[in-house]
Amino acid sequence: MKLLSLCCLRPVIRKEFLEIKRDTRSLVFMIFLPAFMLLLFGYALNFDVKHIPLAVVDQDGSRASRDLVDKFRTTEYFDLKAVLPDTDAIDPLMGREEIRVALVIPPKFSDDLLAGRSPSVQVLVDGSSAMSGSTAAGYIGTILQSYSQKITIEAMTRRGLTGIDLPLTTQVRVWYNPELRSAKFLVPGLMAFILMVIVTVSMAFSIVREKERGTMDQIKVSSLRPAELILGKMVPYIVISLGAAHLVLLLGEALFGVGIRGSYPLLLLAMVLFVTGALGQGILISTITKTQQVAFLLAFLTTMLPTFILSGFVFPVRNMPAAIQAITYFVPARYFLAVLRAIILKGAGLPAIWDQYLFLIAFAGLAIGLSAIMLGRSDRERPRRRGRPA
């Protein structure tokens, strides 16, 4: 029986490779579109908040106030765009988005510091973009805290209190992404997003196109069983999808510096499982659609939107409401993304991510199993429809 299955699979696999070779659009769609999407999203999606336009209203004009302004000017996070005479000039500039942060230093700022009083510094932040606004506020808090510690140490020194340490010192070390570059966070997510969409759409298109041409009916009346037909059509797409995935990996390392820190065999296994499941989902979509337009729409709704929104690619799952978090357990890209980030960024091994592999195996098995059932059901219904009177 195994030998018979292998003999049946070879013609299907060969036929599928020939179909892909003839249809250059599908080949370009599967190989080069992922690379193009990586370039597009990799450079367009950037969560690094730097070079924030800053305006300063220095109502003191002292050396101490200038030192505080220099704290902002000497970082890559703020760009001094304007020195304003009064606070009335802030609102027009912030309304035109020429500045996003305004620093207001009050009069007698240095006098209060010398007298041991705590002057208040006003910081105005454009909150129309919540993410950049909160990040800018965090930067400002860190700079002002550093400046405050510097002033405190200088005051103690003037009073002869030397050798006194601050009550708390911190040493922050960032693991896995020391530069805090958003590209290292996004590239693995882009790989999951691109593969899920491209693979599922390509598989659904392939079968629905054969339906429209009538060749699928010829295949189904042969001695091929549904499982053999599915496997025969999947093998070429698995090979091409893995090639596209490796192209994305190479571009990610060459352009964004995102290399593989962990085990390559574990990464390859995850890719095979995820691609197999995505192909099975594409076949499942093709069994319930009759036109390429409907297949594309259904593939788009079941892959692109859930993968982009609910997988943790852009928005952390832990920040979502409990009901939405429960829905994310049905999004296979969530588990593949967890494996990618663990292996590529952290160099994690199987003990840390074994449960994610179980979910990927379940996804692949469920997608292929449902596809085989639906194909078998359509084969049984065809004779009934043919036997009905006109």
44, 190 Cβ separation under 8 angstroms: no
254-272 pLDDT tens trace: 888 888 888 999 999 999 9
Q: What is the layout of strands, in order, in the sheet containing 52-58?
A: 78-83, 52-58, 101-105, 122-125
User: 52-158: which CATH topology?
Assistant: abc type-2 transporter like fold (3.40.1710)
Q: Would you say residue 361 has pLDDT above 90?
A: yes
Structure tokens at 353: 């991510």
* Interaxial angle between packed helices 2-22 and 226-256, expressed in degrees from 0 to 180 and rounded to the nearest 10: 50
Nearest 5°: the CA angle 204, 208, 209 is 115
Supply the mean pLDDT for the chain.
Answer: 81
Say how far residue 130 (Cα) sits from the centre of its chain. Answer: 19
C-alpha to C-alpha distance for 316 and 309, rounded to whole angstroms? 9
Per-residue pLDDT, 382: 52
Q: Is the dihedral of CA 85, 90, 96, 100 positive or negative?
A: positive
- Domain definitions of the chain by residue range: 15-45+182-387, 52-158
- Top pLDDT among 189 and 223 is at 189
Per-residue pLDDT, 387: 47
Kindly tell me the number of DSSP H helices and DSSP E strands found in the chain.
15, 4
- Top pLDDT among 201 and 359 is at 359
Structure tokens at 47: 């969560």
State the pTM of this model: 0.76
Residue that has been written with the tokens 């018979």 in this structure: 4
Structure confidence at residue 161 as a pLDDT band (50, 70, 90): low
Per-residue pLDDT, 339: 93
